[in-house]
Structure 1
Amino acid sequence: MTESAAPQSEDRTVLLRGGEVHSPADPFATAMVVERGHVAWVGSEGAADAFAAGVDEVVDLEGALVTPAFTDAHVHTTATGLALTGLDLSRADSLADALRLVREHSAAHRADTVLLGHGWDAMRWPEQRPPSRAELDEATGGRPLYLPRIDVHSAVVTTALLDLVPGVTTRTGYHPDAPLTAAAHHAVRAAAHGAITPQQRAAAQRAALARAASLGIGTVHECAGPDISDEDDFLSLLALAETEAGPRVVGYWAERVANAKDALRIRELGAIGAAGDLFVDGSLGSHTACLHTPYADAPHTGAQHLDAADVAAHVAACTEAGLQAGFHAIGDAALTTVTEGLRNAADSLGLARIRAARHRVEHAEMLTPETIADFAEFGLIASVQPAFDAAWGGDTGMYARRLGVDRARTLNPYAALLRAGVPLAFGSDSPVTPLDPWGTVRAAAFHRTSGHRISVRAAFTAHTRGGWRAVGRDDAGALVPGAPADYALWRTGELVVQAPDDRVARWSTDPRSGTPGLPELTPGAELPVCLRTVVFGRTVYERPNE
């Protein structure tokens, strides 16, 4: 891990007692000792008395649950902060409502060089169409506006923003009367984000990290790259995370590597991998995910940005350099391209070296039994987002409209991945879906396709230890002696988890189970409330007294 991902620890010893400690070291633990940023001991309330005299602080948990802090394995931090502090259209219930919000935002931000928004989804609106350029020109009074779709793979913009990007009308993905995609979208996004001042950027980053900390998230994987943000944004985020108390930031930079010089540059940026959103394809919502057979609602198969030879070359160069490689791949054809490329690289370098590198794939939605088997064979990490299924799954959701019901039911097969031995790392892809770790766990346990559901325990592990494993750390993400003291305190309901159906193993705090408890997470249950988040022994969030 880079220095930016290793915050300074508190040189203090703290005893937490009188609660429920979720630890595989002791399934009945009610107390924990933290020393110099690491877990020193977990055990029973009675045994804790032996430590009380030698600690700097005793924390009475008052029955609170203590768990490892969550890791969000896929975040776009600055974009998340801009959505939190700027124009968010995710709650707009119609095109007319969205245009109203644009008008109000434009009037309130007259000093901004470029207006920025996020989160529209025309499929949720009665009009079933995005805003036109003429409508946005009118709503903004002719000012530059960048407004990406909720999946951030297409965007609508104003004429004034297009005027800031010479040659954009000749780029791939330019559509005069439809959202921009591909190279045209990347160009207008670069122009829009280039107008953000360093002060605006820092404020957005702080807002995003503060929100993460308030939700019990101790680590975020920043998925950056030249098609997503820029180097200044990436470097400033790593610097902020290193110098200010908050969640750890582990950086990925999605740029292709061809040789050792390229790999060195990735490391010099502070990234631990040439991975994250290195695009093999786009998204289902924008009709740019790459499919083997056409969309149900469009006469094409999407877009492919890399072929198997490109994947093989990148993986081979990263493996030779000891660097983690990774790709964004959603459609079934894109995932086939990834696994074919991995096989070519394995044929060249040997399977053991490929497996040892723990390369990763982001999203991995349209998996088949064959590509799942390939993931297991190559030791790939599946960095996935259960909230996608909660938002767009089901027989009437966006997936079904894009693909048809039968294909939609195959998406996000978490149970099959676990059965095959594929490691899962859960994330949000925020701001595509919000930072919401307990909601993510619940979404996986109550997947809209019942056969893809996994237990709450497995989902929780994927959102804690899974993220650490994805960066090559097997010694973290659980509250056991020697592990980094990244943990959260929670106010919860009953610590009994009942699986959604008989296909998932049931578990609870029943003494016969020998398993530490987690909150009850049925769809109607209230989610836990974070009381405190601690990273490497340092408190980074404290809930205000109510």
Structure 2
Amino acid sequence: MRRLALGSLILIALALPACTRPSNEAQTPDASPAVAAPSMHLLVAARIAGSEAPGANAMVWDDTGRIIAIGGADDLAARFPAATRHDAGDGVVMPGLIDAHGHLMNLGFALLRADLVGATSKAEIIERLQAYAATVPADAWIIGRGWDQNDWPEKDFPTAADLDAAFPDRPVWLERVDGHAGWGNSAAMRAAEAKHGKTFDGDWQVDGGRILREGDKATGVFIDAAATFIDGAVPAPSEALREEAFERALAAAAASGLTGVHDMGVSRADLALYTRFADADRLTLRVEAYADGDRDALADRCAQGPYVHDGGRLAMRGVKVYMDGALGSRGAALIADYSDEPGHRGLLLMRQEALDALLAKVKGCGLQAATHAIGDLANRLVLDGYAKVLGPEAATLDHRWRIEHAQVVSPKDLPRFAELGVIASMQPTHATSDMPWAEARLGAERIRGAYAWKTLKDGGARLALGSDFPVESVDPRLGLYSAVTRQDLEGLPLGGWQPQERLTMLDALAGFTADAAFANRREGEIGRLAEGYRADFVVLDADPAAIDAAAVPKLVVRSTWVDGAPVYQRPTDSAATP
């Protein structure tokens, strides 16, 4: 699947409404006659999909945002005559979609920076950067995200020289689409060398990273941990800019039909920002934040315990652990050499002993581990670490530990997910974005253990599905389409790539709803439309399970609701109630 440019989301993000009501936990109404009865809301639609009530076309919730009843419109209207009515017309109501792996702040900043997604050549990159440069102060760094050399005719990594002709003196720093590599010009490297007091030339490398060189000269591409050298020289964004980035990310997510996000790699400062939004009733998503590795946010949770905001829309009860890099930048850690780079096996970001120690710390703090592992070696080492730390009773414990991506797994290791009770948190659009070049990286044998959604599910593992935005589009409709077709938007390859791993639409929907809710222990209140659950839902123009898969990416999100309050309404439907 071609990755969609983020620039088109900026106009959406600028014009969306904020949530108008706080999200409070359900409370038992006081029996005293002095206390007013809770107000009710009745939504009538063509169908309430995903509900256990046969033929349901209406739903009632109270002013705490909890669903009271689901059934027929006439019956519910008679039972709740004073309810405020919302008419969804011929729309179909679905449980709110949950992205089980995204990066909200990265998405927000991507919407504020040069958008390089889908650029098909270095020349196009330069054109986009020149247009962006005209919109920011003349002394500002030119920051962008989204390039992918696999989309270019030559397929080779770029160099600083490719940028220097257009930008000889102004620092340029461009994050690769996977977030695991960066490309800078000579001015950016000079600024970073001055800050760190060391040259990037030579033959040295940093643990968990790779500076690409020609001979002993740095080329301008920095992979994984090496990219932090340039990142550290980029001026830090102001708090006002961080707030704007978060607002835009929330708006873009709501416009895509998302009511929840598992936000991977959240810092102490990010959680403080999110908390301010939640305190002010401005948080329009249900955000399950995962701490950014063994840093301040984890230290806070170990000292204070898991965090849950009183409003019910924000929590931090888990930790994002990082084991290796990404396949596209050849940073994924493999058991054997890359098929297209003999002698290279990727990058481990920590050794087994360090991983085991960190996992033991996470367990001791009563938190959930969610570990990034893309290559087959990284997945094996993480499974080994989980088995060691959780112990022989791992499969019987309700630990909900996860592997994020689980992208390339040895066939020998695939059954271990179910055996250990490990959740496979996977992103369907990764497969359709990577399919033009993934086999070249892995070869015909290893590719059979890659993006193996159905094999994992059939083996008893639980799948939680997401997008990894802004690596991929934030739009879950594209994830649903990829999951069931394994094709790009042009319908290629015919029959799907590695079609034996396709999911049914019902399984794909579960991955974005009930199973995503299970992955962060919210299955008792979100992910379904049922009495007692949160009124988190999306109104679409059709049911994804009732139409041809080719039409799923074109489904119209008419409105998105969290706790029974609209957080997005399609502009052309602004005159309508829902």
- Counterparts of 1:299-314 in structure 2, within 5 Å, are 299=342, 300-314=344-358
Maintained 8 Å contact 1:17/1:48: no
Q: Compute the displacement of 1:290 (Å).
A: 0.5
Q: 1:206 to 1:260 in 2, by over 3 A?
A: closer
Match of 1:469?
Answer: 518
Give the Cα–Cα distance (whole angstroms) in 1 for the partners of residues 132 and 305 of structure 2: 37
Q: Paired residue for 2:549, among 513, 522, 540?
A: 522
SS of the aligned residue for 1:272 comes to strand
Q: Compute the displacement of 1:325 (Å).
A: 1.2
Maintained 8 Å contact 1:290/1:333: yes
Match of 1:174?
Answer: 211
| Correspondence 1:392 to 2:430 | no
Match of 1:233?
Answer: 270
Q: Compute the displacement of 1:108 (Å).
A: 2.3
Match of 2:570?
Answer: 543
Query: Which amino acid letter does the alignment assign opposite residue 149 of structure 2?
Result: A
Match of 1:324?
Answer: 368
Q: 1:529 to 1:268 in 2, by over 3 A?
A: closer
Q: 1:362 to 1:404 in 2, by over 3 A?
A: same
Q: Paired residue for 1:44, among 49, 66, 72?
A: 72
Match of 1:333?
Answer: 377
Match of 1:223?
Answer: 264
Unaligned runs of 5+ in 1: 1-5, 498-517
Maintained 8 Å contact 1:266/1:274: no
| Correspondence 1:95 to 2:138 | no
Maintained 8 Å contact 1:257/1:263: no
Q: Compute the displacement of 1:271 (Å).
A: 5.8
Q: 1:95 to 1:307 in 2, by over 3 A?
A: same
Q: Compute the displacement of 1:261 (Å).
A: 7.6
RMSD over equivalenced CA pairs, Å: 2.5
- Counterparts of 1:31-180 in structure 2, within 5 Å, are 31-36=58-63, 37-55=65-83, 57-111=84-138, 113-162=140-189, 163-164=191-192, 165-167=195-197, 169=200, 172=206, 173-175=210-212, 176-180=218-222
Maintained 8 Å contact 2:405/2:426: yes
Maintained 8 Å contact 2:98/2:512: yes
Deviation by residue 1:186-209 (Cα, 9 ceiling, x = unmatched):
2322433x5222222211111111
SS of the aligned residue for 2:260 comes to strand
Give the Cα–Cα distance (whole angstroms) in 2 for the partners of residues 360 and 139 of structure 1: 44
SS of the aligned residue for 2:81 comes to helix
Q: Compute the displacement of 1:265 (Å).
A: 6.1
Give the Cα–Cα distance (whole angstroms) in 2 for the partners of residues 424 and 521 of structure 1: 23
Maintained 8 Å contact 1:238/1:249: no
Deviation by residue 1:233-254 (Cα, 9 ceiling, x = unmatched):
3421343245304112211013
Maintained 8 Å contact 1:315/1:345: yes
Query: Which amino acid letter does the alignment assign opposite residue 377 of structure 2?
Result: A
Q: Compute the displacement of 1:481 (Å).
A: 0.2
Query: Which amino acid letter does the alignment assign opposite residue 250 of structure 2?
Result: L
Maintained 8 Å contact 1:253/1:271: no
SS of the aligned residue for 2:461 comes to coil
- Counterparts of 1:333-482 in structure 2, within 5 Å, are 333-347=377-391, 350-351=393-394, 355-393=397-435, 397-447=436-486, 448-475=497-524, 476-482=526-532
Query: Which amino acid letter does the alignment assign opposite residue 466 of structure 1?
Result: D
Q: Paired residue for 1:187, among 210, 216, 229?
A: 229
Q: Compute the displacement of 1:268 (Å).
A: 6.5
Q: 1:7 to 1:127 in 2, by over 3 A?
A: farther
Q: Compute the displacement of 1:452 (Å).
A: 0.5
Give the Cα–Cα distance (whole angstroms) in 2 for the partners of residues 445 and 247 of structure 1: 26
Give the Cα–Cα distance (whole angstroms) in 1 for the partners of residues 165 and 274 of structure 2: 35
Maintained 8 Å contact 1:102/1:140: no
SS of the aligned residue for 2:340 comes to coil
Q: Compute the displacement of 1:126 (Å).
A: 1.6
Match of 1:515?
Answer: none
Deviation by residue 1:57-85 (Cα, 9 ceiling, x = unmatched):
11122121001111111111122122223
Give the Cα–Cα distance (whole angstroms) in 2 for the partners of residues 468 and 64 of structure 1: 24
Match of 2:5?
Answer: none
Deviation by residue 1:64-117 (Cα, 9 ceiling, x = unmatched):
100111111111112212222321111212111111111221232125632210
Q: Compute the displacement of 1:7 (Å).
A: 5.3
Give the Cα–Cα distance (whole angstroms) in 1 for the partners of residues 295 and 175 of structure 2: 28
Query: Which amino acid letter does the alignment assign opposite residue 90 of structure 1?
Result: V
TM-score scaled by structure 1?
Answer: 0.86
Give the Cα–Cα distance (whole angstroms) in 1 for the partners of residues 404 and 475 of structure 2: 18
Q: 1:266 to 1:171 in 2, by over 3 A?
A: farther
Maintained 8 Å contact 1:314/1:325: no
Match of 1:247?
Answer: 285
Maintained 8 Å contact 1:106/1:140: no
Deviation by residue 1:168-198 (Cα, 9 ceiling, x = unmatched):
6365222301510132212322433x52222
Deviation by residue 1:304-360 (Cα, 9 ceiling, x = unmatched):
122333333233332232211121001001010011111211338x4267x312111
Q: Compute the displacement of 1:26 (Å).
A: 1.1
Q: 1:242 to 1:186 in 2, by over 3 A?
A: farther
| Correspondence 1:490 to 2:540 | yes
Deviation by residue 1:24-81 (Cα, 9 ceiling, x = unmatched):
32132111111130111111233223234121x1112212100111111111112212
Q: 1:167 to 1:468 in 2, by over 3 A?
A: farther
Percent same amino acid at aligned positions?
29
Query: Which amino acid letter does the alignment assign opposite residue 504 of structure 2?
Result: S
Give the Cα–Cα distance (whole angstroms) in 1 for the partners of residues 300 and 532 of structure 2: 36
SS of the aligned residue for 1:356 comes to coil
Maintained 8 Å contact 1:33/1:41: yes
